[in-house]
């Protein structure tokens, strides 16, 4: 089994390095094909490992070599394939295989075709390290690695100012969170003596609650950055400047779920500190609602899906925070399928519309893009949680978990957000695919994507439809390691009412969205009443948070930096030069003494003699009257 | 030959430098490269012959110079100095090999060879006076390099560099004389041998004063805030090769001396001054990072970033435990490699455009993709990306200091944020966007001569990031000895508790290793 572990881990690295060889050469089709094949081989290996684990096989644990060893610290490159990591590996390799194949078509006309595959495969490698490592330091390697690849891919079109700006924003904001993560790692090391999961977690049971709380908080700060939780969320929407396959893979299916993975992986820690867990759940519920509200009014197709991702991440954290780790992991998996599908569909639309992102300028595209229309509709149904699609099984279980744990506020918020999710998803679908063909005003001639791109997407379509049937086998697989409880609401009637009620609520939201937007005919120009209402503006400007960051953090930082530079030149350095010039001017001013002029010399000789004589007199007198001087001084209290 | 390998390493380049005066101008570069290559090969041989399981000094040489005052020519290396010596030989080699067209090339190469002598001398001297001699001598070639080949303000910059560091060193010299005198009072014999001094336990009040005296010399050299202002001038005016050697090796003298002198000689004082120095280190990290962000000249960005990174090294040193000190020694190597490479990279673009202002560039990634790639790798190393060389050092330094203070480490950790800010911004300004200036449209990409220097550095950056063990292990063993010595020598209660007892720890380490 170790062989498969290594293939799964290193095939993406090989793919990345192979593609990197061609970065400076013009587009070569075979680079994309070979990269896709290598990623596919990683997928196959992961599948073999999955069947091995499903068959009740042993956890595969290898230690490749030492990375750092000093003092008491010992960090190997160790990898583990257990129930959690194999789930993540399946998600990562499956979605990335599809995205790789899809990209061959999507990046078809791009100058940086080969470079794109180098970065994309490097990302997959980092993500595999992240999920497969058996220690926190290895996790951190992957953690930073995906950040790096995200930087390279958001800023892939580096001639665009917005893209590179967004890339830097994402990197720096993640770095802030990484500091929290790093401190969390230090805490783990100094309190448990190891960074290995299998040593550190058992040792945590003996620590006092305050230390564990700090540990939990700092690790979660790291998770907040990667998973773009409030208040570190602004980078995710801006990250949509990257190519759409990147958004599908990194900013929907895999990297942003790394934070959730961290919390799930640290379940033994968070079980010990339920109050931190409750905070995580509350923040998750808040972000779910908060992000969904921004998606309601946005006019950028990709940003709407990004906010939806953010909102779904909130759901996952809500579940993980409440201790329903397996539910969170299951939703992570299901979400990866339908969200990647949604993004890839959006990529097709973007191509068709010549990179136009405003859904109000589209409309009626279902005639020309039937395949994409069906896929995006089903993905949206899955996202909305309609029976029998994937989201129904994963999202409803989160609601049930919140209900069963008697956190009614969280339950209420999540339920309400489910309605919003349905609304904004179908607002998007209705605006893009239904109604009048508004794109004609702009003289665009849309066309469906290449057939092989649609075929590449079809496994995701399939999974978005049927992933629900995996719920029971999945539960059985992870229950051993996640100590899972099945969230069954005791009364059968309550459960039924809840399910039907939720479905009806969500269904009504979808109908409302269709009714409102399916026959939309004009492109809003900012003059309507609703567009001028306070709420709309607030939501459209993302609660003015990016503006606030720009105004109250970025600008002051710029100004403070400039001011400090002035300080450096005019205070620190000037005082050094000042001291030097004291010596210099002392010499400069006294050099007249040495002019060689006899009368001047004699004058100074007299001055010197007088000074010396007076000193002699003063000391002589002082010595003579020392007793008196002492008594006077002591009388003065010296 | 191995018995005298250190002397050979020190004096071979100097002798070859003298011989260089007789070499024809046309062939001086080949001669310089050959000499530096032999020297580098010798330093690798030293590593090969070095027994990494021994924590103490190896290849010791001892020749009496002034026996009545206990001044002897004593040399030796341990894991702490070994890699800095190799790094010095390495950078001299690639520095000469990649030297761009300079006027008076012959003088430059001879100067570099002399500089190499002084650098290796500093890191292998085990007698305070010999150490001091090399320490001061190293100023002369650098003064000449900046003063003769520098920019428009070269005289000001070189004199400032010389006088500032020289003034600090004099205070250090006074400290050394006092130290020897105390040794004489305690034992009745004079000695300037550092290993002899290690055995002397001083009362805390003496330690505080001596620590302060040494501190002045070291802090200016490092340079620590607020003594750092000579550095931007020196880097700003120095030619590329000068900046590379200065950043890669000369700055390390200060941090190395802290570990060689301050910590083992004055353990109680080290504990006493730990917090103030940590605060200075944090100021260095954050303040200079912000100043770096405000720069318009890319070389100044790298120069200030050096100060910021040196702050992390100082912090790791004053963690006073094995993890932190090992990390800081490793970070010295790492910073040498990465900042040296960054200065070389800045030199590449300066040779083409004769400006270092970032506003003059923009969109260079279109024109010079290879250059952008190598710069990108070094950029990521500089911001401490895992699996690059810097991360290992930075991680261990911060991890080590975390044991001493949580909140200060949190503040120091801001390094990873502010470092990313100035580096990414600089990179964006230079490489991203459209090519706006016509002069930049047809710039040639990096040529072979430049790649000779850059490729090995890139390889080392990744190699030691992925597999730091060959370097980390010898460092670790020697650092354990230093920490143990400090623990044993410390007299105050606080110092005993702050400085871990390694020998007790070694047992548990083997047991953890067995557990895997």
Q: Which are the contacts of A128, defined by CB distance < 8 A and separation ≥ 6?
A: A8, A9, A12, A42, A89, A92, A93, A142
Residues in A closer than 8 angstroms to B505, CB to CB, are 71-72
**Cis peptide, bond prior to residue B226, ω within 30 of zero:** yes
Residues in A closer than 8 angstroms to B370, CB to CB, are 24
pLDDT score for A58? 87
Average pLDDT, chain B: 91
pLDDT at B516 over 60: no
Q: Give CA angle at A14 (A8, A17), nearest 5°.
A: 145
Q: Which are the contacts of B186, defined by CB distance < 8 A and separation ≥ 6?
A: B200
Residues A577, A582, A588, A591, CA torsion sign: negative
- Is there a contact between B398 and A182 if contact means CB atoms under 8 Å apart? yes
Helix, strand, or coil (residue B65): strand
pLDDT at B461 over 60: yes
Q: Compute the average pLDDT of residues B205-211.
A: 92
Q: Compute the average pLDDT of residues B474-478.
A: 93
ipTM over 0.95: no
**Cis peptide, bond prior to residue B60, ω within 30 of zero:** no
pLDDT tens readout for residues B361-414: 988 998 999 999 999 999 999 999 999 999 999 999 999 999 999 999 999 999
pLDDT score for A477? 84
Is residue B472 within 8 Å of B248, Cβ to Cβ? no
Chain A nearest-CA distance from B140, in A, is 20
| Residue A522, burial from CB neighbour count under 10 angstroms (0-12, 13-18, 19+) | exposed
What is the C-alpha separation between B101 and B81, in angstroms, rounded? 33
Residues in B closer than 8 angstroms to A76, CB to CB, are 516
Interface probe for B, chosen from A10, A21, A67, A71 (most Cβ of B below 10 Å), is: A71
pLDDT score for B382? 94
* Residue ranges, chain A, pLDDT below 70: 483-490, 637-638
Residues in A closer than 8 angstroms to B79, CB to CB, are none
pLDDT tens readout for residues B29-51: 999 999 999 999 999 999 999 99
Q: Which of A623-627, B325-329, B461-465, B501-505 has the lowest mean pLDDT?
A: B501-505
| Residue A514, burial from CB neighbour count under 10 angstroms (0-12, 13-18, 19+) | middle
Residue B8, Cβ neighbours under 10 Å: how many? 17
Q: Which long-range contacts (CB under 8 A, 24 or more apart) does B166-169 make?
A: B166/B136, B166/B139, B167/B220, B168/B216, B168/B217, B168/B218, B168/B219, B168/B220, B168/B221, B168/B227, B169/B132, B169/B135, B169/B136, B169/B217, B169/B220, B169/B221
pLDDT at B505 over 60: no
- Is there a contact between B290 and A561 if contact means CB atoms under 8 Å apart? yes
Q: Which of A268-277, A530-539, B123-132, B342-351 has the lowest mean pLDDT?
A: A530-539
pLDDT score for B271? 94
Q: How many residues does chain B have?
A: 516
Q: Which are the contacts of A388, defined by CB distance < 8 A and separation ≥ 6?
A: A465, A468
**Cis peptide, bond prior to residue A231, ω within 30 of zero:** yes
The string of DSSP codes covering A21-81 is: TTTTS---HHHHHHHHHHHHHHHHHHHHHHHHHHTTPPPEEEEEEEEEEETTEEEEEEEEE
Residue A566, Cβ neighbours under 10 Å: how many? 12
Q: Compute the average pLDDT of residues B49-68.
A: 90
- Is there a contact between B402 and A183 if contact means CB atoms under 8 Å apart? yes
Which helix (H) or strand (E) is A513 found in, with range?
helix A492-517
What is the C-alpha separation between B466 and B454, in angstroms, rounded? 19
pLDDT score for B514? 40
Residues in A closer than 8 angstroms to B385, CB to CB, are 144-145, 148
Residue B509: pLDDT band (50, 70, 90) is very low
Q: Compute the average pLDDT of residues B186-204.
A: 91
pLDDT score for A637? 64
| DSSP E strands, B353-455 | none
Helix, strand, or coil (residue A175): helix
The string of DSSP codes covering B177-215 is: HHHHHHHHHHHSS---BHHHHHTPPPPHHHHHHHHHHHH
CB pairs under 8 A between A and B: 156
Is residue B267 within 8 Å of B495, Cβ to Cβ? yes
Q: How many residues does chain A have?
A: 638
What is the C-alpha separation between A197 and A138, in angstroms, rounded? 11
- Is there a contact between B291 and A564 if contact means CB atoms under 8 Å apart? yes
Is residue A121 within 8 Å of A15, Cβ to Cβ? yes
What is the C-alpha separation between A347 and A336, in angstroms, rounded? 16
- Is there a contact between A141 and B386 if contact means CB atoms under 8 Å apart? yes
Is residue B311 within 8 Å of B281, Cβ to Cβ? yes
- The tokens for A148 are 């790096």
């Amino acid at each position: 089994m170790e062989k498969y572990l290594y293939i799964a881990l290193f095939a993406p690295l090989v793919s990345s390095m192979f593609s990197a060889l061609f970065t400076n050469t013009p587009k070569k089709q075979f680079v994309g094909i070979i990269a896709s094949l290598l990623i596919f081989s990683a997928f196959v290996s992961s599948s073999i490992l999955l069947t091995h684990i499903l068959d009740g096989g042993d956890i595969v644990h290898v230690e490749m070599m030492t990375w750092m060893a000093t003092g008491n610290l010992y960090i190997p490159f160790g990898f583990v394939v257990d129930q959690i990591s194999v789930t993540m590996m399946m998600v990562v390799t499956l979605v990335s295989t599809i995205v790789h194949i899809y990209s061959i078509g999507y990046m078809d006309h791009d100058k940086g075709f080969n470079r794109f595959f180098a970065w994309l495969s490097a990302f997959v490698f980092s993500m595999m390290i992240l999920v497969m490592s058996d220690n926190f330091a290895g996790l951190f390697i992957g953690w930073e690695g995906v950040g790096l690849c995200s930087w390279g891919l958001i800023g892939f079109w580096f001639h665009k100012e917005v893209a590179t700006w967004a890339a830097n924003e994402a990197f720096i904001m993640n770095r802030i969170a990484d500091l929290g993560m790093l401190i969390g790692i230090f805490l783990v090391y100094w309190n448990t003596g190891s960074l290995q999961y299998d040593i550190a977690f058992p040792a945590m049971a003996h620590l006092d609650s305050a230390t564990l709380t700090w540990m939990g908080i700092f690790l979660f700060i790291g998770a907040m950055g990667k998973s773009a939780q409030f208040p570190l969320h602004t980078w995710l929407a801006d990250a949509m400047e990257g190519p759409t396959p990147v958004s599908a893979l990194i900013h929907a299916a895999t990297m942003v779920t790394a934070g959730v993975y961290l919390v799930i992986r640290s379940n033994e820690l968070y079980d010990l500190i339920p109050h931190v867990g409750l905070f995580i759940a509350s923040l998750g519920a808040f972000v779910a609602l908060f992000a969904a509200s921004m998606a309601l009014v946005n006019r950028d197709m990709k940003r709407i899906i990004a906010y939806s991702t953010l909102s779904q991440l909130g759901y996952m954290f809500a579940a993980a925070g409440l201790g329903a780790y397996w539910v969170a992991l299951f939703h992570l998996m299901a979400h990866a399928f339908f969200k990647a599908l949604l993004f890839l569909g959006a990529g097709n639309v973007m191509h068709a519309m010549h990179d136009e992102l405003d859904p109000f300028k589209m409309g009626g595209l279902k005639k020309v893009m039937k395949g994409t229309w069906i896929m995006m509709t089903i993905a949206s149904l899955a996202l909305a949680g309609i029976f029998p699609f994937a989201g129904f099984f994963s999202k409803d279980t989160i609601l049930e978990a919140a209900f069963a744990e008697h956190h009614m506020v969280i339950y209420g918020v999540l339920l309400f957000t489910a309605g919003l999710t349905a609304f904004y998803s179908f607002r998007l679908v209705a605006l893009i695919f239904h109604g009048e063909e508004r794109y004609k005003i702009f003289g665009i001639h849309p066309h469906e994507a290449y057939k092989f791109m649609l075929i590449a997407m079809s496994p995701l379509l399939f999974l978005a439809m049927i992933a629900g049937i995996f719920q029971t086998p999945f539960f059985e697989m992870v229950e051993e390691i996640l100590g899972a409880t099945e969230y069954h609401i005791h009364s059968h009637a309550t459960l039924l009412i809840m399910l039907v009620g939720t479905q009806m609520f969500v269904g009504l939201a979808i109908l409302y969205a269709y009714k409102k937007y399916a026959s939309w005919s004009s492109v809003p120009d900012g003059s309507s009443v609703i567009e001028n209402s306070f709420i709309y503006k607030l939501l459209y400007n993302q609660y003015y948070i990016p503006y606030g960051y720009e105004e109250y953090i970025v600008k002051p930082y710029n100004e403070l930096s400039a001011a400090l530079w002035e300080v450096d030149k005019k205070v620190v350095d000037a005082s050094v030069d000042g001291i030097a010039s004291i010596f210099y001017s002392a010499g400069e001013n006294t050099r007249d003494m040495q002019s060689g002029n006899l009368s001047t010399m004699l004058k100074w000789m007299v001055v010197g003699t007088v000074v010396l004589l007076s000193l002699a007199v003063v000391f002589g007198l002082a010595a003579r009257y020392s007793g008196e001087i002492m008594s006077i001084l002591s009388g003065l209290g010296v | 030959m191995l018995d005298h390998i250190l002397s050979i390493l020190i004096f071979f380049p100097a002798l070859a430098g003298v011989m260089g005066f007789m070499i024809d101008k046309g062939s001086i570069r080949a001669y310089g490269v050959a000499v530096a290559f032999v020297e580098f090969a010798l330093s690798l041989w030293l590593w090969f012959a070095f027994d990494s399981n021994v924590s103490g000094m190896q290849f010791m040489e001892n020749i009496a110079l002034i026996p009545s005052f206990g001044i002897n020519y004593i040399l030796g290396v341990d894991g702490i100095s070994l890699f800095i010596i190799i790094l010095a030989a390495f950078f001299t080699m690639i520095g000469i090999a990649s030297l761009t067209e300079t006027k008076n090339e012959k003088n430059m190469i001879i100067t570099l060879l002399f500089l190499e002598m002084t650098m290796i001398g500093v890191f292998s001297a085990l007698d305070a006076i010999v150490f001091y001699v090399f320490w001061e001598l190293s100023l002369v070639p650098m003064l000449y390099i900046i003063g003769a080949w520098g920019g428009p303000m070269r005289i000001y910059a070189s004199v400032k560099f010389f006088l500032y560091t020289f003034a600090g060193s004099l205070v250090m010299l006074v400290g050394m004389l006092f130290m020897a005198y105390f040794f004489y009072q305690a034992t009745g014999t004079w000695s300037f041998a550092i290993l002899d001094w290690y055995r002397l336990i001083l009362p805390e009040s003496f330690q505080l004063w001596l620590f302060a005296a040494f501190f002045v010399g070291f802090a200016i050299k490092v340079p620590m805030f607020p003594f750092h202002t000579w550095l931007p001038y020196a880097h700003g005016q120095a030619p590329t090769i000068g900046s590379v050697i200065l950043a890669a090796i000369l700055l390390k003298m200060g941090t190395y001396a802290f570990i060689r002198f301050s910590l083992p000689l004055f353990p109680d004082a080290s504990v006493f001054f730990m917090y103030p120095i940590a605060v200075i280190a944090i100021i260095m990290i954050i303040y200079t990072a912000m100043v770096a962000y405000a720069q318009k000249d890319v070389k100044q960005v790298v120069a200030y970033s050096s100060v910021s990174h040196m702050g992390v090294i100082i912090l790791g040193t004053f963690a006073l435990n094995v993890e932190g000190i090992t990390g800081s020694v490793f970070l010295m190597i790492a910073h040498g490699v990465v900042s040296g490479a960054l200065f070389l990279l800045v030199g590449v673009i300066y040779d083409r455009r004769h400006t270092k202002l970032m506003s003059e560039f923009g969109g260079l990634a279109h024109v010079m993709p290879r250059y952008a790639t190598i710069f990108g790798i070094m950029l990521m190393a500089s911001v401490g990306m895992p699996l690059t060389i810097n991360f290992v050092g930075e991680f261990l330094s911060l991890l080590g200091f975390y044991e001493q203070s949580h909140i200060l480490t949190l503040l120091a950790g801001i390094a990873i944020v502010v470092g990313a800010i100035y580096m990414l911004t600089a990179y964006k300004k230079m490489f991203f966007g459209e090519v706006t200036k016509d002069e930049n449209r047809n710039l040639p990409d990096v040529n072979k001569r430049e790649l000779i220097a850059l490729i090995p550095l890139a390889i080392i950056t990744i190699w030691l990031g992925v597999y730091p063990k060959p370097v980390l292990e010898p460092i670790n063993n020697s650092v354990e000895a230093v920490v143990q010595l400090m623990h044993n020598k410390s007299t105050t209660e606080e110092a005993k508790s702050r400085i871990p007892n390694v020998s007790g720890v070694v047992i548990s380490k083997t047991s953890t290793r067995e557990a895997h």
